[in-house]
Amino acid sequence: MAATPVKTLRVFYSYAREDKEYRQQLEKHLSNILRLYRIQTWFNRLIRGGERWEAVLNDRLNTADLILLLISADFLASDYCYNQEMRRALERDARGEARIIPIIVRRVHWEKSPFSHLQALPLDGEPVDSSSWDSRDDAYYHIAVEIEKAIQDLLAFRATQEVAPPPYMPNIQEVAPPPHMPRMWEVMPPPPVPNMQGVAPPPQVPDMRAKWFGEGKVLQKTGRYEEAVQAYEQAIQLDSSFAAAYQGRGAALFHLKHYEEALQAYEQAMSLDPGFALAFYSKGVTLEKLKRYEEALQAYEQLIRLAPNALAYQGKGTALSRLEQYEEAVQAYEQAMRLDPNSSQRAGYSAGLQLRGGVSGERLRAFPSQTRRGSQGGRQDRAGVGVLI
C-alpha cells in the first residue's frame, strides 16, 4: 500500500493593511522556498466576495503551521491584529500546535509585548526599513534564510509523527478455500468478521511521544528548563531512537549550564541521526563552553562537511581564534560573509577582533564598516541560535 502523502505546510501572514507592501516583498523573496517545499500561504486579501470573512480567517489561522507576524506601529495599534490574530496565534504556539515568527518590518517599541519571548527576525533586531541594511533585499534575504530553517524544523517534527498504516488484511471471503475442502463455506459459514474500520485503534505511542516533545519545546521557550528536560526524557522513554528529543534535552541542559550532560545528549542525537546538522553545531558551542577548543573545531568542520553554511564557518572561526590561529580564523569568517552577507555582519566584527591579534591592518579594512559596530552585535547571532541548541 502506498504511504500516506505528507500534508502541505500552511503559512499565515498577520499584518496591518498599512504594511501590505512589506508582505508582498516578503512573499517574493520566499517564492523559491515556497515552491521547493510546496508551501501554501494565506492572508486576509484572499477572502472571496460573499464569504463570512471572520469565519474564513479564523479557520485559516487555526489550521496554519507557521504564522508570520509583520510587526510595526500599525500592527501593534490595530485592535484586531493585536487582540484577535496575535493572541490566538500565541495560544496555538503555547500548545505546540504552530510556530510563530515575529518579523520587524518597521521600527517600533515591541520589547515587552506578549510575543517578546519569541526569536524575532531579523536576528540582529534591525527592522526591514532600517538604513543599516545596504538594501531591503539584504534584509529579506536574511529573513528568508531563517524562515527556511523553521520550515525544515517543522517538516522534521512532522516526520516523527508519521505512523505507518496497518498491513492490508483481506476479507476472509476473498481467500480461496483449500483444495481438499471444496465449498466448505456452504456447509458451515465462517463466523462473522468484524469491520476493522469499526474497531477502535490501539493507543499509538508516537502520538504520546510527540506530545511530550512538543511540551518540552514549549517549556524551553518559556525558560522552564528543568521541566523541559523531564518532558524530553518522557519522550525518550517512549522512543529511545528519537534523535530530536535528545537534541532538545541537550538544549535545556545547556541553558542549565550542565554542559557535560548536554554534550552527551547531543552525541546521542548524532549517533541516532548522523545527518542531524543542528546537533553538530550544538556540540561545537558546548565544547567552547568547556574550553575544549580543538574538539569544538572538529565539530564545526564535521558540520561544514555535512551542511556548509555561514553559522558553521563562524563557529569554526571562533574556535580557531581561541587556538590563536588568527589567519585561519579570518579565512573562516570571510567564508561566512560570502555565504551569508547579512548574518555575517556579526561574524565580520568577530573577525575584526582577531585581526588585531596579529593579522595585517589591510585585512581589517577589507571588512565593511557596519560589521564593526560593537561587541554586543558581534555575539547576537550565536546568542539567538542558543535558543535552539
Report the candidate in 203, 244, 238, 184 with the shortest Cα–Cα distance to residue 220. 244
- pLDDT > 70? residue 70: yes
Q: What is the mean pLDDT of residues 158-173?
A: 52
Please list, in sequence order, all residues whose beta carbon lies within 8 angstroms of the beta carbon of residue 36, skipping any fewer than 6 positions away.
none
Question: Half-sphere exposure (CA, 13 Å, Cβ side) for 224?
Answer: 12
**Rounded to 5 degrees, what angle do the CA atoms 168, 170, 173 make?**
175
Cis, peptide link before residue 206, omega less than 30° from 0: no
pLDDT score for 349:
46
CB 154 within 8 A of CB 9: yes
Confidence of residue 296 (pLDDT cuts 50, 70, 90): very high
pLDDT by residue (tens digit) across 219-237?
888 888 898 899 999 889 8
Report the candidate in 148, 177, 186 with the shortest Cα–Cα distance to residue 35. 148
H/E stretch holding 273: none
pLDDT score for 19:
93
Instruction: Give the cell for residue 187.
Output: 456447509
Confidence of residue 250 (pLDDT cuts 50, 70, 90): very high
H/E stretch holding 185: helix 184-187
Per the model's pLDDT, the better-predicted residue between 308 and 21 turns out to be: 21
pLDDT score for 259:
93
CB 69 within 8 A of CB 86: yes
User: Which of 13-27, 126-140, 341-355 has the lowest average pLDDT?
Assistant: 341-355
pLDDT score for 379:
36
Domains and CATH numbers, the chain: 10-160 (3.40.50.10140), 205-385 (1.25.40.10)
Report the candidate in 357, 303, 299, 349 with the shortest Cα–Cα distance to residue 328. 357
Q: What is the mean pLDDT of residues 296-314?
A: 88
Percent above pLDDT 90 for the chain: 31
Q: To the nearest 10°, report the CA torsion of 252, 254, 257, 261.
A: 90
State which of 46-60, 120-134, 338-352 shows the largest mean pLDDT.
Answer: 120-134
| Cβ count within 10 A of residue 6 | 11
Instruction: Give the cell for residue 157.
Output: 517534527
